Every structure is written in C-alpha cells, then in structure tokens.
Structure 1
Amino acid sequence: MSAALMIRRGLVVLALAGAVVLGFRLVEDLGQLQRLEGDRAELRHARYGMLDTEQWTRRLSAVLAERIADFELDDRTRPRVLATLTEAIKVLIGEIERQLSLNAPPRGGDWLTQLQGTLHQQLQSRLIDFDALRAQAPRYAERLLAALEGPGTEAAIRAELLGLLTAATPTEVEHSPVLKALLERHGCAEVGACAAALERETAALRPAIDQQLGVLLGLAALIFALVAWGRARERRLDGFALGAAIAITLVLLLTALFSPMLTIEARVDRLGLEFLGESVVFTDQVLYYQSKSLFQVVEILIRAGGADLWLVALLITLFSVVFPALKLLATLVYHRAAGAPVAAPVRFFALRSGKWSMADVLVVALFMAYLGFDALVANQLDTLGATEATVLTTNGTALAPGFYLFLAFVLANLVLSSLIERGAGERRR
C-alpha cells in the first residue's frame, strides 16, 4: 500500500468519524432548538393575546379609565355631552309613552271596556303632550348639564364610573394549564419575560447549528472528493472507498430523517387598533407554528388514524427510508460481487433505482410546500387590512437544516450511483 493511499484513507476515516460525531450533535441541538422554538411559539400564541377576550377587556378598560380620569366639562366637550343628553331624554320620553300605551285597557270586548279604553286615551293625550315634551328635550338637557357642573359633581361621577369599570375588569391574570407548565419548566413568572429568554437561547444556539451543518456537508464533500480522486488515480473503486461513500451517504440520510425539514410560522408582528383616540397594540402574535422532522410527520399521520393518512405515512416511509436504505445495501452487494452475476433486485437497486427514486421528488415537494404556504399565509392575513386595524404580518416559514441534509443525501446518492455505473461499464469493457 502506497503512502498516498494510506494518507488518503486516513483522511477519509477522520472525515467520516467527524461526520458521525457532528451528525449526532446536530440532531441533539436541532431537537433542543425545536423544543425552545415550540415553547416560545406557544407562549406568544394569539389565543393568549389578541384572541383572548380578557386581554381586550384589560386594554380597553385602561383606555376608558384614562379617558374618564381626564374628562372635564368645558367648552370643547360641552356640546357633545349636551347632544348626548338630549337624545337620551328623547329616548326616555318615547319609552314612557310606549309603556303607557301598553298599560291602556284593550279596545276589544264589550262596550264598557271600549269606553274605558277611549276615555283612557283621551285623558292621556289631554294631560300629557309627548310631542311637546320631546320639543323641550334640549332645555331639559341644559338644566341637567347645569346640575352636573355643580361643585364636586364631576369628581363624584368620575369616581363612580372608575369604580364600576374597575369592578368589571379582571385584575388577576389566570394562565391556562399549558402556560403554567411552560412557565414552571423554564423557571419564569411572566409570559413576556419567559418568551424573551427563550428567544435569546434560540439566538445563541442557531450559529452553532449552522456551523455544524456547514462542517458536516463539507466533510461529506471532502470524502466524495477523496473517493473520486482515488478512483481516478487507481482507475478502480476499491471496497474501502465504496464503504466510506456509502457510510457518509447513510450518515446524511439518518441525520436528515431526524432533523426538522421545514419550519412553518404565521405571525402577526403588530396589530394596532384606534379606540377613543388611543392605540391598542398587540405585538408578536403567533397564529400557527410547526417544525417537524420526517419521522415526526410519519408519527403524527399514524396517530391521526384513517386509511388515507396511513397510506401517506407508508409512502413517505417507503420512499424516504426503505428505498434509500435498500439502494445503499444493494450498491455494496453489487460492488462486492466484482462482476459476478447478481440477483435482478440487487442490480435494479444498485444501478437503476435512481431513475425511479422519489427522493428528489420529495425535496421538490417540500420546497413547493414552503413557497405555497408562505404565499397562502400572506394572502389570508392581508385580508385583515380591510378593517380599521393596522396589521403588520411576518411569515416565518423557512427551510430547516433537515432539508439541506436530505438534499445533500440525494446528491450523494446520485454521485454514488454514477461511480457504480461507471465501474460496471469499465468491468464490461
């Protein structure tokens, strides 16, 4: 064995060992990141914010309390209050007239009952002129407003209104069992502070994950480069080089299967509503969040039940796990046969399964789902802009490291198939 071959094999072994270690660490760190992001999304979910009636009650009550505390009868507010009191008096007069008409004796029945009804109506119309009362409503409103402007009356009214508002507003924040469990798990007392702490943890974890992903893909590329270089120099693909190529391809596949492939997040960055001249604002409201690995998707489909979902789970498992594993195994068997006849299934999986594999289709499908959901979220949330609210949306949908690992596996598989097919062609010549 030449020194160059020993050095090349040593580099391949070191790169493969580093790839295995990085694969394990990457899966662990991605799992931790997935949990942290899931907990943060739950803490910031819209069901505890802009979709919670108690949250709206507290915020609107705060605006009302501020307006009540600042309210004074002056030249600016007096016309509005006077108009409101006038309309209220007119409504009150109309209600009195309606109640009196309801208490009148019915017009049907015998002649005595009809006479009583007629006399009641005539007496009521002569004693009470409701049209005249309605015409005097502005004067009555002026007198009532003058009484309200007396010393201490405004302060008493404000105090009474604030008391009623405070009694109607919930004072204690009652967290759901899910929120309580999350706060206890992370040792937090308040939702906002806990979400901010989780965001700092995820921000600190992402650079390490990106670095591990880059190094792992670089090691895989290095191994294939060394294998291709050795094959070009020796004009053959030995068992060690093939084993190394299969091993790194398998590492890429397993790491991809246990890593999140797609992160889908629909979030309202800011929802602002004008109420009595004040802005009621909700920020960072998560509407939907999912981040799953391929195995987790299969698990969810199986748990959901139903023949159609089980069929989808079976197809995903077949074409993303079983099919690639059989291809790698058949490749190894075919190469070890060294030109001897092999079974048709082995030859098919080793040489021709690449044309039928759905791995590349799966990658494209995931990418199209990413684009389609991102556009769908933007389109649906934009409809909220038709209201009086100001809505700024952020769609955090993004491709996760599992996608790039699976794409690298697809490319590695194609390169491996090309090397095997070229070796088979040279053996035939």
Structure 2
Amino acid sequence: MILILVLSILLCGEAYFGYKLDILSAQQEQIKEDYSMSNNITFGLFSMDQWRDRISEVVHGQIHDFSLTPAQRKVMQVQVEKQLHGLISKTVAQIKKPQKSLGGKLKKFAFNTMVDDKDIHAQVPSFAKTIVDKINSPASKRRLKSIATTKIDQLEKLTYDSTSIANYAVTKYLYTKYKVADPVAFNKRINADLAAIRKVTYNYAYAMLGCVALALVFWLAMRKQVHLHTTLFVMSLLFAVILLFVGVTASVIEVDARILSFNFGLLGQKVAFENQILFFQSKSLLGIIEVLLSQAKPDAIAVGILLLLFVIILPLLRMIARGIHILSPEKLSENKVVKYLAFEAGKWDMADVMVVGIVMTYIGLNGILKSQLSNLNIKNDFVNTTTVNNTSLQPGYLIFVGYVVFAFILSYILKRITAYEVSEPGRQIRG
C-alpha cells in the first residue's frame, strides 16, 4: 500500500507538471504568435506607410528646426551677390547693345549719361545682405516652413499602401488584449511574459522527468520483490502514457528568424526599424500532424497519417497491450495480437526515429537560416543591419525524448519479468 501511495503521488505530480507545461506551452506559442504578428516585417520594413511616417518625421523635424547658421548665411550671401552681379551685367548689356529705334537710342543715351554700372555693382553686397536678412527673418521663415510643410503633407496623403487598415486592426486588438498603449510597452510586456514562461516550463519539464526517474529508482530498489513487479510495471505504464501525451501536445521546435535592427542616416537623423519578424512557427508533434493532414496535397496527407499511426497511435497501443499482457489471465495475455503489440511491434514504432528526425530538422533549419540571415547583415557608413536566428528546441522535445527512453526501459523490464515468469512457473507476478 505504501508503494502504491508513493507511486500515486509521483504519478499525480507528473500529471500536474505535465498539465501545467502543456498549458504554458500553448500560452507561450500564442504570445509569440501575437508578437510576431505585431512585429511582422509586412507591417514594418515592407510597409510603405511605415517608411512614409519615419521619413516625414525626419523631414518635418528638419523643417521645424530650419535656421541659417552664420556660415550658411555667408554662403547664401555670396550666391545672392553672384546672381545679382549676373543680373546687372545682363541688363546693362541688353541696354548698351546697338539700338535701331529712336526710343531705344534715347534710353541708351540716358543710361550712359546718368548711370554708372560700376556703382550698381558696388552696391550689390548691401542688396544681398538685405535679401539674406529678409529671408532669415522670423516672418519669412514661418512662411517658408508653412509652404514646405504643406507640400510634405500633400505628398504624405499620396503615399500609402494596403497594410494600414490591417495594421490598425491588429494593433488595436493586441494592445487591448495585453492592456498596453504603445509599441514600447507592448514589446516590454511580451518579453517579460515570455521570460517568465520559459523559465517555468523548463522547470515543469525537469520536474516531470524527475518523477519518472524516481519511479525508476523504485524499480531498481524493488527489482527482487517479484510480487511487486505487476504493480510497478502498471504504474510505470501510466507514467509513460503521461510522457507521451505531453510530448506530442507541447511545442517541440520553434523557428524564429528576424531582423533585430535596420537603421540608416537621413538628413543627419537616424531612421530605424526594430524587431522585424521574417518568419515564425512553433509547433508540437500533434500540431505538425494536423498541418500535414490539412494540406491539399496527397503526399502531405499520407505523411501525416503515417506519423499519426506510428508515432502516436502505435506507441499507445503497445503500452495498452503491455498492460493487458501483465495484468490479464494467461489466455488473454498470450493472445497473438497482444503479444505482437507488446513484444514485436517495436520495429514499427517510429517514436525514436521522430526524435532523431526533429534533431536533424533543427540542425538543418538552423544552418540554413544562419547562412541566409548572415547575408542580410550589413555594416557600413550608410546602413546598419543586424539579424538574429532564435530557432530552438522546446521543452516538449525533452519530454518526448524522455518518453522514448522510458519506453525502451519498460520494454527491457517487460522482457526480464516475462523471462523470469517462464523460468519460475511457480511464481505469481500477476495480480
């Protein structure tokens, strides 16, 4: 009774930790999907609206802060003087050229008599200074800023794309959901939630595996107590079922590729895009199977069915068959189907193959993403781009690996206790 009580406590603990891990895994997946939606590159770096807003902000700032420095005033005065000298020279040349009409000749005579073009040229600096002072007066600057701002606003109204409505709807929904008012608060809230969930989910995963490890310790301690083998084995099967359930429903792999920062200089100001999500997916084994089965392609559906049969259903049937074999009377326990599932169907059980497949997928995706993202890293005087690959295995994978290892150990134990029963027919290990 004490053994059953202790194992029951461990089993309940494993079930509780597995339940919490499964809930938090789904919650983490949803939060990251919300985050990736809000920071998707479609609504950021690829959005004309975002480019328009950022560039117009820089231009408006330049217009608002417009003021000529002393050096700029000197340059402007030189340019104005140059233009005035050119205008005077052109006008004088026009008047002094040979005239055919009487009126033209009189104008030329009067000009030559009363006007000295050198005196006019000598007054150009004072004229230029007056013009520059007028341009730099508060009233003139206000008029110039108003004209420039109006033109920029008109250009803004003509610059837009189709993402603005969708972006507004998504932003409003997510900000309401997470009770925030701006992107900074949203990202801060999401990062804090994810950090807390990540730590707790791994703790729950380790706690689950710890409960299973303690159950194995009981096996080791009680291995010579033949009359307890049935109880220990049946309880162990329940431990394995929980591991399998959590292993296939919790997230096993997460693919996250993003542009961490993209910035460049414009009119002396920094234009930046942060956390632009290029691609994000987080899936459990069951989620992967559901995606495959929902495809229109027959080959994808076939793969989904095979995974469902040989990674989930067959392992579950094998554990049921082992329970029947160890608990039932000899007639039922020696049934060909039961014995085949309990002892010989392991060659069709693809759970261990799936463990290797997930690792290979992770290694392959990680390598491809690192290679591709490295091509986007640009650092020069004009543009600075930093990418990051956050692809990772998730706690669900640890649990699934734990199930595979534990199932292998149970197969070994079943063969040992069955062999012991055959060699010691007088021993009763059932019931």
Which residue of 2 is the match for residue 293 of structure 1? 284
Q: CA deviation at 1:317?
A: 0.6
State TM-score, norm by structure 2: 0.76
**Structure 1 segment 168-247 matched on structure 2, within 5 A:** 168-169=155-156, 175-230=167-222, 232-235=223-226, 238-247=229-238
One-letter identity of the residue aligned with 2:135? G
CA 1:40/1:348 → structure 2, altered by over 3 Å: closer, same or farther? same
Which residue of 1 is the match for residue 256 of structure 2? 265
How far apart in 1 are the matches of 2:352 and 2:370? 28
SS for the counterpart of 1:390 is: strand
Which residue of 1 is the match for residue 362 of structure 2? 370
Which residue of 2 is the match for residue 347 of structure 1? 339
1:171-191 Cα deviation digits (max 9, x unpaired): 997534333322233333333
How far apart in 1 are the matches of 2:290 and 2:76? 63
Q: CA deviation at 1:266?
A: 0.8
Q: CA deviation at 1:147?
A: 9.7
How far apart in 1 are the matches of 2:74 and 2:53? 29
1:118-172 Cα deviation digits (max 9, x unpaired): xxxxxxxxxxxxxxxxxxxxxxxx99x9997461267243442233223433699
Which residue of 1 is the match for residue 96 of structure 2? none
Identical-residue share of aligned pairs (%): 22
CA 1:79/1:320 → structure 2, altered by over 3 Å: closer, same or farther? farther
How far apart in 1 are the matches of 2:130 and 2:36? 55
Q: Do structure 1's residue 152 and structure 2's residue 148 form an aligned pair?
A: no
Which residue of 2 is the match for residue 324 of structure 1? 315
Q: Do structure 1's residue 412 and structure 2's residue 399 form an aligned pair?
A: no
Q: CA deviation at 1:254?
A: 0.6
Q: CA deviation at 1:192?
A: 3.3
Q: CA deviation at 1:335?
A: 2.2
| Equivalent residue for 1:70, pick from 66, 71, 80 | 66
**Structure 1 segment 34-183 matched on structure 2, within 5 A:** 34-68=29-63, 69-70=65-66, 72=68, 75=71, 149=132, 151-152=134-135, 155=141, 156-169=143-156, 175-183=167-175
- Assess if the C-alpha contact under 8 Å between 1:256 and 1:405 holds in 2: yes
One-letter identity of the residue aligned with 2:30? R
- Assess if the C-alpha contact under 8 Å between 1:263 and 1:290 holds in 2: yes
- Assess if the C-alpha contact under 8 Å between 2:284 and 2:396 holds in 1: yes
Which residue of 2 is the match for residue 108 of structure 1? none
Q: Do structure 1's residue 427 and structure 2's residue 421 form an aligned pair?
A: yes
SS for the counterpart of 1:151 is: helix
How far apart in 1 are the matches of 2:321 and 2:168? 53
Q: Report the RMSD for the aligned CA atoms in angstroms.
A: 3.2
Q: CA deviation at 1:17?
A: 1.6
Q: CA deviation at 1:80?
A: 11
1:43-75 Cα deviation digits (max 9, x unpaired): 222222222111111211222233343363764
Task: Work out which of the two has the higher radius of gyration on C-alpha atoms and give 1 or 2.
Answer: 2
SS for the counterpart of 1:70 is: coil
1:334-365 Cα deviation digits (max 9, x unpaired): 22357767234332322233344211111111
One-letter identity of the residue aligned with 1:72? L
State TM-score, norm by structure 1: 0.76
How far apart in 1 are the matches of 2:257 and 2:362? 12
Which residue of 2 is the match for residue 20 of structure 1? 15
- Assess if the C-alpha contact under 8 Å between 2:7 and 2:215 holds in 1: yes
Which deviates more, 13-22 or 250-259?
13-22
Which deviates more, 278-287 or 65-74?
65-74
- Assess if the C-alpha contact under 8 Å between 1:354 and 1:414 holds in 2: no
Number of equivalent positions? 366
- Which segments of 5 or more consecutive residues in structure 1 lack a partner in the other structure? 1-5, 87-141
One-letter identity of the residue aligned with 1:326? L
- Assess if the C-alpha contact under 8 Å between 1:236 and 1:423 holds in 2: no
SS for the counterpart of 2:272 is: strand
1:383-428 Cα deviation digits (max 9, x unpaired): 2235853111121111111101100000010000000112233334
SS for the counterpart of 1:393 is: strand
1:312-351 Cα deviation digits (max 9, x unpaired): 2101111221110111012122223577672343323222
Which residue of 1 is the match for residue 85 of structure 2? none
How far apart in 1 are the matches of 2:418 and 2:132? 103
How far apart in 2 are the matches of 1:384 and 1:206? 29
SS for the counterpart of 2:259 is: strand
1:11-30 Cα deviation digits (max 9, x unpaired): 11111122122222221222
One-letter identity of the residue aligned with 2:22? V
